[in-house]
Amino acid sequence: MSAGHRYDAIVIGGGHNGLVNAAYLARAGKRVVVLEKRHVLGGAAVTEEIYPGFKYSVCSYVVSLLRPEIIRDLDLPRHGLEILPLESTLTPLPDGDHLVRWADHDQTRRELYRHSPRDAEAYDDFGKLMYQLAVAVKPILAMVPPDPTSLSPKDLLGFGRLARHFRGLGEEQFHALFKLMTMSAADYLDEWFETEPLKATMSASGIIGTFLGPRSPGTAYVLLHHYLGEIDGAMRAWGFPRGGTGGVSESIAGAARRFGADIRTEAGVAQVIVKNGKAVGVALENGDEIRAPVVVSALDPKRTFLEMVEPKDLPDDFVDAIRRFKIRGSSGKVNLSLSELPDFTCLPGMGPHLRGAISISPSVDYLERAYDDAKYGAFSRRPYMDIIIPSMIDPGMAPPGKHVMSIFVQYAPSDLDGGWDETKREAFGDAVIDTLAEYAPNLPGAILHRQVLTPWDIEREMGLTQGNIFHGELTLQQLFCMRPTVGWADFTTPVRNYYQCGSGTHPGGGITGASGRLAALKILGGRPR
Amino acid sequence: MLRTTPFHSRTAPLCEAQNWRRWAGYVTAGSYELTHDREYHAIRSSAALFDVSPLFKYEIRGRDAVRFLDRVVTRDVSKCVPGQVLYTPWCDEAGKVMDDGTLSRLEDDTFRLTAAEPNLRWLLDNAPGMDVEIADVSDSLAALSLQGPNARSILGSASDGAVDGLGFFRLTTARVKDVSVTVTRTGYTGDLGYEIWVDASDAPRLWDVLMDAGGPYGITPAGILALDVARIEAGLILIDVDYVPAHRAIIEDRKSSPFELGLGWTVKLDKGAFVGRSALVEEKRRGPEWELRGLEVSWESLEEVYTEVGLPPQLPSVAWRTSVPVYSQGKQVGYATSGCWSPILKKYIALAHLHASHSRPGTDVHMEVTVEHQRRRAKARVVETPFFNPERKRAAK
């Protein structure tokens, strides 16, 4: 298909950001085509029935910070988006005790009091401070990062706006923000709390998707992310999407189609066609070519710049910067089909704790040891896990009376010593099940089917370089005006008419859709150069 | 002393929140859990089980049952076939709404009418000279409402198959395990759902059977707080909240006609004489002065008024039931009577009485919001109800 300009824009990759991007472009009247390599849409936000009757949110398993403006602009509820509450977090402990944070404030306070009366009160103070900071930081998510090296009025104005957001902060809040930006999650939480499982479970949010441990500096700021979700609390942009995370992708695709976007699956792109430093279309893996005056890549920066285009079309220093961009995969995923619910020794039987998150993070030492394994090229023998039982929240995920379990596992380094293979993958899966069996002894006997994904699998199947779930680590040197690299954080690229809109751009990470939206606004606002 | 319903022995141990609410002299659960979120989401994503026993229920039987009911209610009862259910209001002589409920034609000459308020006297007063018996079965008949996308699967797995093909606003007798019941495909949520009518003595057994069968489908006991959100989304009005029953109104202005409540479709003026008809003929000719509509509050506008005080928009966590002024160009043009944040639509919605001049869908108005003790106004748009109307509500399968 080499027919002239049937489209105004081509979006490479039907992950959630690519779909959001296409939806916004189509909403503005552009003729858009989305090209997805796999047979299903969603990228890492996908639901698949791998074992008959049981639906897995294969990779990404909750929706965290899906931007409310996207929900509204695209009218996603009309296209089936439904986000169900995921209210509690249980941390089972090896000694048979547990720590639960419930939806109800008093219930949580009483539970924390059991572990530490001081922490029970500190928790509220901490929550208030984080909320205030989150309110101050939130506008950044909706802004195209300005270029700090540029003196253009637009960039200066951008920094001016940024300064204004922070000027409103009081002294205490400013200091806290500074600490969050520089400290490790463990150190920062040490200033507030003494309960180990509380500190460990909270600091775990700072290490997800990074190749860092809870004691690595720079991990504290991600604590804020949780509270960013809290701002939209009543809006509930946070929780378990009905039908799994594929439900989110499907609703965005539905909106995009309604606006007229063309969405094709099993249409892998081999190369972006560049003529005279300008993107003019794409060549598909099947040999077809599609031309359009705008090409947008929703792939990660490595693929966007090192695979989709020739290095000769890019400045050397830019290619170097992208090569140095850190995208080490550090996590894996285990999905289980279960004949019965796990029975936790610490809270036996069926109960509301099975409807929330379950975190295997008994202490900061435990997490740091898990990291130690990974630092030296092994997967964690006793890994950190973030677990949910989707069928308890949305019974449609499994046949009546049966269950599915989603286990996010860290660490599983992409550059495992000796490389990954099928034997090592299953050994990793065994480590996960063995660890869990210590807390829920009936689990191994309840498994009907098990899917184990290592970074190796995630790269091969979902196309995420090194299996990094965020398209590049969410560490400070790779955020905001540095994402993916200085000078190119505004969704443009050194190739004219070639744009980037994946999680490797600001603000990146998680099912937010923000990158896809901001890139679309950039494309629509600035005429293709 | 408030009374307990026939399900109390089952609902009481489940009511963790101890959040009991009054309903027609009974206590029923406001919410079972500490927050009602999950109960609400069960209505929309799995199935919720409500105890609706406090409804008033009347059985009307006799050769003149159709003639009698046609005299009382606004719908055309002669067109209601056995096995069918009608939603209908009824009016006083001035054409003002006294109550609303569902009317089930159980057999050729046997009907069951539900009501929110006691109506026995009104029914009896309209019966002279007719061959009809009216019995108040409010106490002897208990009722559960099973609402949500999994409701059909649950009833199907627990019953003899009579319910499988049951159409919207149809009824059937059925056996749920060993319990004899009447099932109507009705509800107050605007979703796929059923109401199950059972002899009070069988009530606990019915609860057990449904909870048991519903477990694998995510059945969740739910209370009034969750129901209130769902019924606003469905655009269903509530007596004493969205309208004052005509015979309780102390001043004339408090009364509403069916046309003013969005119930014009239930008024069958061509069916012959009925209570209130001549007043309604006249009102139809004139056009109603007020109309009940939906409002969608603008998020951007809400964000604006809250940003001024340094807060993100604060949304109501439960549905509100107060009168809130609605303005257009600085003048009050109506008032909202129920409102809530709709978790499924992700919109702030309200039901409002609007002066006919400002009731056209698409009209922009302002609704009062209190922001940090200050009265502010947020933009809102007039829309048709229901706000939420999934296909499964009426779908055959």
- Smallest CA–CA distance from B45 into chain A, residue: A394
Q: Which of B346, B387, B389 to mutate to test the interface with A (most CBs of A within 10 A)?
A: B346
pLDDT at A236 over 90: no
Residue B309 in any domain: the answer is yes
In a domain, B396, yes or no: no
Residues B315, A168: C-beta atoms closer than 8 Å: no
Q: What is the band of A529 on the pLDDT scale with cuts at 50, 70, 90?
A: very low
Task: Pick A394's closest partner by Cβ from B45, B312, B343.
Answer: B45
Lowest mean pLDDT across A214-218, A237-241, B323-327, B393-397? A237-241
- Beta carbons of A331 and A455 less than 8 angstroms apart: yes
Which of B195, B222, B249 is the C-terminal boundary of a domain? B222
Residues of B in contact with A232 (CB under 8 A): 312
Cβ contact, residue pair A71, B38, below 8 Å: no
Contact A135/B312, CB-based, under 8 Å? yes
Q: Which residue of B has its CA nearest to A393?
A: B218
Contact A242 B310 (CB under 8 A): no
Sequence-ordered list of residues with C-beta below 8 angstroms from that of B165, at least 6 positions apart, any chain: B396, B397
A-interface mutation test, from B31, B33, B41, most A Cβ less than 10 A away:
B41
Mutation target to probe the B interface, by most B beta carbons within 10 A, among A106, A350, A393 is: A393
Amino acid occupying residue A101: R
Is B269 domain-assigned? no
CB pairs under 8 A between A and B: 66
Contacts of B309 in chain A (CB under 8 A): none
In a domain, B272, yes or no: no
Whether A137 has a pLDDT exceeding 90, the answer reads no
Taking alpha carbons only, the member of B282, B233, B241 closest to residue B261 is: B241
Show the tokens assigned to A378.
């092994």
> Looking at the domain assignment, is residue B199 inside a domain?
yes
Residues of B in contact with A400 (CB under 8 A): 153, 157, 216-217
- Report the gap between the CA of A104 and the closest CA in chain B (Å): 7
pLDDT tens digits in sequence order for chain B, 397 residues long? 889 999 999 999 999 999 999 999 999 999 999 999 999 999 999 999 999 999 999 999 999 999 999 999 999 999 999 999 999 999 999 999 999 999 999 999 999 999 999 999 999 999 999 999 999 999 999 999 999 999 999 999 999 888 999 999 999 999 999 999 999 999 999 999 999 999 999 999 999 999 999 999 999 999 999 999 999 999 999 999 999 999 999 999 999 999 999 999 999 999 999 999 999 999 999 999 999 999 999 999 999 999 999 898 999 989 999 999 999 999 999 999 999 999 999 999 999 999 999 999 999 999 999 999 999 999 999 999 999 999 999 999 8
Tens of pLDDT, residue by residue over B134-157, are 999 999 999 999 999 999 999 999
Are B314 and A104 an interchain contact pair (Cβ–Cβ within 8 Å)? no
Any idea what DSSP says for residue B313?
P
At A4, is the pLDDT very low, low, confident or very high (cuts 50, 70, 90)?
low
A412 CB contacts (<8 Å, ≥6 apart)? A329, A330, A331, A332, A374, A379, A380, A383, A428, A454, A455
Strands of the sheet containing A262-264, edge to edge, are: A262-264, A32-35, A9-12, A294-297, A498-500
- For chain A, the structural domain boundaries read 9-83+239-326+465-525, 122-231, 331-411+417-453
Residues B216, B296: one domain? no
CB contact under 8 Å between B218 and A394, yes or no, is yes
Bridge partners for B293 per DSSP: B352
**Does residue B321 sit in the same domain as residue B193?**
no
Contact B153 A400 (CB under 8 A): yes
| Inter-chain CB proximity B346 and A107 less than 8 Å | no
Q: Is B38–A87 a contact, with Cβ atoms under 8 angstroms apart?
A: yes
The SS3 of residue B331 is strand
Instruction: Sort out which chain B residues have CB atoms less than 8 A from A110's CB and list them.
Output: none
Whole-number pLDDT of residue B49: 98
Q: Do B218 and A401 touch (CB under 8 A)?
A: no
Rounded-to-10 torsion of CA A80, A85, A89, A90: -90
Q: Does residue B147 share a domain with residue B44?
A: yes
Q: A394 to chain B: which residues are within 8 Å by CB?
A: 45-46, 218
Same domain, B216 and B316: no
Q: Which ranges of A81-214 does DSSP label H, i.e. alpha helix?
A: 105-115, 117-141, 153-167, 171-182, 185-190, 196-207
What ipTM describes this predicted complex? 0.93
For residue B370, the 8-state DSSP code is: E
How far is Cα A431 from Cα A105, in angstroms, rounded to an integer?
A: 35
Q: Phi/psi of residue A254, each to 5°?
A: -60, -45
Neighbours of A527 (CB within 10 A): 6
Tokens 């015979």 -> residue: B247
Position A279 pLDDT exceeds 50: yes
Nearest to A77 among B299, B312, B346 (CB): B346
Q: Could you say which of B222, B252, B268 is where a domain stops? A: B222
For A46-86, the pLDDT digits (tens) are 999 999 999 999 999 998 788 889 999 999 999 999 999 88
Q: Is the dihedral of CA A459, A464, A466, A468 positive or negative?
A: negative
Q: What is the pLDDT of residues A508-524, one digit of tens each?
A: 888 999 999 999 999 99
- Given a cut of 50, whether residue A2 has pLDDT beyond it is no
Check B346 against A72: CB less than 8 A apart: yes
Backbone angles phi, psi at A76, to 5 degrees: -60, -35
> CATH no. for residue B326?
2.40.30.110
Cβ separation B345–A104 shorter than 8 A: no
Instruction: Pick B216's closest partner by Cβ from A82, A234, A395.
Output: A395
Q: Where are the beta strands (DSSP E) in A278-361?
A: 278-284, 289-291, 294-297, 331-338, 357-360
Tell me if B206 is assigned to some domain. Answer: yes
Query: In the CATH hierarchy, which fold is given to the domain comprising A9-83+239-326+465-525?
Result: FAD/NAD(P)-binding domain (3.50.50)
Can you tell me which residue has the tokens 């009374």?
A: B3
CB contact under 8 Å between A394 and B341, yes or no, is no
User: How many domains does the structure of chain B reveal?
Assistant: 2
Q: B222, B241, B262 — which closes off a domain?
A: B222
A432 touches A407 (CB < 8 A): yes
Contacts of B33 in chain A (CB under 8 A): 352
- Predicted confidence band at A528 (pLDDT cuts at 50, 70, 90)? very low
Predicted local distance difference test score (pLDDT) of residue B46: 97
Could you tell me if B199 and B313 lie in one domain?
no
Q: How far is A343 from chain B (nearest CA, A)?
A: 17
pLDDT-derived band at A415 (thresholds 50, 70, 90) equals: very high
**Structure confidence at residue A289 as a pLDDT band (50, 70, 90):** very high
Q: B9 and B151: one domain? A: yes
Indicate which CATH number applies to the domain containing B217: 3.30.1360.120
The domain of B34 spans 3-55+138-222
User: Mapping DSSP to helix (H, G, I), strand (E, B) and coil, where does residue A259 land?
Assistant: coil
- The per-residue pLDDT of chain A, averaged, comes to 93
pLDDT at A480: 86
| pLDDT at A1 > cutoff 70 | no
Q: Work out the minimum CA distance from A132 to partner chain B, whole angstroms.
A: 9
Q: Could you give the 3-state DSSP secondary structure of residue B160?
A: coil
Task: Enumerate the residues of chain A whose CB falls inside 8 A of the CB of residue B41.
Answer: 82, 84-85
Partner-chain contact A401 B216, CB within 8 Å? yes
Query: Nearest by CB to B343, which of A72, A87, A236?
Result: A236
Whether residue B149 sits in one domain with residue B45:
yes
One domain for residues B51 and B150 = yes
Quick one: which of A443, A516, A525 has its CA closest to A42? A516
Q: Which of B14, B45, B318 to mutate to test the interface with A (most CBs of A within 10 A)?
A: B45
The beta-carbon neighbor of A103 closest among B35, B344, B347 is B35
Question: Strand pairing of A83-84 and A54-57?
Answer: unpaired
Does residue B198 sit in the same domain as residue B297? Answer: no
pLDDT at res. B274: 98
In whole angstroms, what separates CA B344 from the centre of its chain? 19
Mean pLDDT of A399-412: 97
Residue type, A453: L
Which residue type does B366 have?
Answer: H
